[in-house]
Structures are given as structure tokens and as C-alpha cells.
Amino acid sequence: MSAPRSYDAIVIGGGVSGLIAAAYLAKSHKKVLLLEAEDRLGGLCAPANLGDGFSAARGAPTLYALDPVVIRDLKFARSGLRFLTRDLAMVGLRSDGKHIVLSRDVHDTAASIAVHSPSDAQAWPRFHKELFEIARAMRPRWWEARGALPMGDACRSLDTIARTSATAWLDSWFESETLKATLCFDATAGSVSSLEPASALSLVWRAAQEMSGLQGAVMIPQGGMTALTEVLVKTATEVGCELRTGVRATRLILDQGRVAGVQTESGSAYFAPVVLSATPRYQTLSELAPREALSIGYGDALERPISPLTEACIVMKLRSAPAFGGIAVPLASRFILAEKPEAYIAAEMTSRGGAIPDEIPMEFVIPTWMDSSLAPPGQHILSVIARPLPLLRFEERAGLKTLVAARVVAALEKFMPGISREISDIEVFSPGVAGYPIRVPSMLADAAHRIETPIEGLFLCGAGAEAVPAISGRAARIAASFAMKGGR
């Protein structure tokens, strides 16, 4: 019999979060094993299989929430992670050509909004200031393990926002359908309904993020999103993590109620006094924890996702540069296709019924406009996030990928006539599982609440343990710090 393999810590899941957690632990001289079920690392940031000369991630076109502390601690800049643009503008596309451009410059933005509504243009600077102020006041809560909630005016505003849906909150500020529909997209991250109270808070969370020192900025790394995975794999390897792919964790091994290791699909057992799981809470506790652990009495920890909604990433290879029907738009932008707030509600209702909506709200970027190295000369990549969608179990329904792709291309055709003829390949990716349920109490709770579990030595480190799921690494950083203290 081979000797049991022992580590100081085991990390389940080799996406961005798992890699960050593993790197933190190994940097502190812990002997770390990371187990990844698939045969490649990166999770949703792993490369899409697009063929020679093209580079895009399977599930995430932009960065807006990568933790500045992680960037600094793990020395990403020294490993070569650079950003292409200062900030991507947000462009709400309209079929009549009156696009709305929301940029970092408040006055330019107000001028763009004024075409649609002079009163909204007047309200914009106040909205922007209030949003960014509350967001900054929330940072300790969202950025630290046990950060405090804000006091005073910010607390009063927060109290209102936490009870208000994104739709209602934006209605209270603005009248322009285009403006509201454009802003609404960010409130639906993680498959949240724009009618849910937590969705207004999602907008605040988004504004609390910071990229390269810029509050609320959206960026693309040089070399594309897969560059982040490459940097992380390099960092984790250099600090001595043992990274194993093609190994699925199937069971947590417990010893007197405390985590003691992990069993894998092939029957191997690995032992460690701490385990960090990048899989969602319900999956970690109900699928990986042994049945007897249920008697510990943490019913609420087993909450399954109630959302039947998800999102998809659609990546296209284009033979030539796409053209916006002669209309000038800033190329370093993320483009939103949703002309009215009702578009989200209609798509949600259809998706809840299990069907693919005719019109799906979506965001797309063309990273090759900013980094031509991501495609062969003259060719381009266009990456779309489409949501809300019903759970997409591609293996169970033939033609589903084709249907989603057809709906997305039809929507793009309205703004970029002839684009369908330029597409040489199209890939549709979706997690195939329900979105993490975001709830107000969980968003307002401290990070420790989302990271700790009722099982001693077991911590959650994935995007499901963030206030809003995104490529952040914040939960991973905090989980690693808890793990290094050895317990709860």
C-alpha cells in the first residue's frame, strides 16, 4: 500500500480563485496540492479552443474586479500582467444610431445622455458621485475579512438601495430607456434578476471595484484574458504548488468533524488539515461533505441555488474588422445590446420557462481592436456575454448551442450589417449550472461569513464566496489567510 500523501493544504478547483488561494498558501511556505477536475487550468478563464493564432477565454471577456491587493501581493506586474486600455467605455447601442456613450469623463457622458434626455444629463453627475461615494464607503466591508458597514449618510443611502431593485433605483434617477437599459446590464451579473432588491446593490458593488487605481474601471489584459491564467499558473508553480489536472475531488475526508483531506474520483486520498474549495457553498457542503457531516446542523449552509437562470459566453472569430453601419463609436468599449429595461424582464420570463429568449440582453467586446496579437493579421475576435438564459445543458439538447449562437448573431446584425458573413467560427460556453444565488444578507455580510464553513478547517475560496461572483481573487486571498491561521 502506498503511503498516504500529506500536505499542509489542499485546494479544490484550478480556476483563477483556486490558483490565487494556492499561490498565497505556498508563498507562506505551506506544502500545497491543487486538484482540478478538467485537463486544463483556468476554469472560466481557460483558453477557448479557437485554433492557431486566436486567443480568448472560454467565459470571461473583461476584468473589473481583480483585487488590487492580490495584484500587489502576487506581483502580477513583475510576472508580466499588463492592461491594454485605461478603461473601456460603456456604449448602449440603439438601432436608430443614437448610441449612448458612458465614459470616465462625467461631462462627455452627460453630453451623450443629453441627446436622449436633458434632465437625465443633469442628474448624471449627481448619480455618479453618489454611486461612487457609497461604493467607496462599502469597500472595507467587501474588501476585508471582517470590514465594518459604513456609518452616517452612506449607511442611510445603503439602507434604501439594499431594499430596491436595479430597475426601481434607476427609475428613481432617470427617464431615458436607453440609459437605464445600458446601466442595468451590470446589475444582472451572476444571473441576478434586475427586479430583485439585491440587484441595485450589485451596481454599488461594481462601482466599488478598482482596476489599476481607477474606481469602476473595466480592462482587458495584454495578451487577452488567458494571460491572467498564464500568470497565475506561473506564479503558483514558482512558489512550489503542486498543480494536478484531470483529478476530480469527490469527497471530503473528515476526522471527528474536522476536515482531514480529500478523496478523488479515482479513489486516491490526499491528506491535509485545511481544505479550500473553489466550488460553490452548496456543492462543497452537500456534494463533497460526507453524509454524516449533515448532522453537524448547518441546514442553511446547504442552500441550493434557486436561480434557474444562467449566462453564456459566445466567442466568434471574424475574417475582417466589424463595422457599425457607418456610425462612429469608440473602439475601446464594451457594447450593450438592450434598448429597454423591459428587455431584461422579458428575457428573464422566457428563460424561467426554459426557453431561449428571442432577444437576449448582451454585452460584447472586440479585444483585437486593442490588441491585434489576439488574432492573425486582419482578423478579429468578438466576445459576447448573454444573459439571462435558462440553464444550458448542451449535452441534453441537440441544437441548443446553434440556437443561442443564431440569436446572438441576429442581434449583432442589426448594428453591424453583414457580420454573419464574416464569422469563420463561433463557440458557445456556459457553466451549465445555476448562477450563484445572490441575496442581500449575503452581499451585506462580511467576507468571513461567505468564506467560513461549519466544518473546521474547510474554507470557500471561489467566486461563489464573493459578494458578487467575478474574477476577483479576494475570497481566495481571505480564505488563504484564514487557512494559514489553521482553523476558524
Binding site for ligand FAD (CB under 6 A): 12-18, 35-38, 43-45, 59-65, 248-249, 278-279, 311-313, 385, 431, 462-463, 469-471
Question: Residue 89's Cα: distance from chain center in Å?
Answer: 18
Least distance (Å) between residue 428 CB and ligand FAD? 10
Burial 364-397 (b: 16+ CB within 10 A, else e): bbbbbbbbeebbeeebbbbbbbbbbbbbbeeeee
Closer to ligand FAD by CB, 27 or 334: give it. Answer: 334
Residue 29, sorted as left (phi over 0), alpha (psi -120 to 50) or beta, turns out to be left
- Cβ closest to ligand FAD, residue 158 vs residue 460: 460
- Taking a C-beta distance cutoff of 8 angstroms, is the pair 324, 417 a contact? no
> Whole-number minimum distance, CB 475 to ligand FAD, in Å?
8
Extended strands (E) in 160-308: 210-211, 214-215, 242-245, 249-255, 258-264, 269-271, 274-277
Nearer to ligand FAD among residue 63 and residue 134 (C-beta): 63
Rounded to a whole number of angstroms, the minimum distance from the CB of residue 243 to ligand FAD is 11
Strands 458-460 vs 423-429: parallel, antiparallel or unpaired: unpaired
3 state SS of 215: strand
- Comparison of 66 and 123: residue with beta carbon closer to ligand FAD: 66
302/51 Cα distance (integer angstroms): 41
- Write the CB contacts of 143 (distance below 8 Å, at least 6 apart in sequence): 67, 69, 208, 447, 474
Cβ closest to ligand FAD, residue 16 vs residue 426: 16
* Least distance in angstroms from the C-beta of 20 to ligand FAD: 8
Secondary structure E strands in 76-160: 89-92, 100-102
Q: Of 87 and 120, which CB lies nearer to ligand FAD in the complex structure?
A: 87
First and final C-alpha spacing in the chain: 34
DSSP three-state, residue 312: strand
Q: Which three cell numbers stand for residue 117?
A: 434626455
CB closer to ligand FAD, 188 vs 350: 188
| SS3 category, 404 | helix
Contact 16, 228 (CB under 8 A): yes
Candidates 333, 321, 338; CA nearest to 101 is 333
Q: Select 249 or 438, whichever has its Cβ closest to ligand FAD.
A: 249
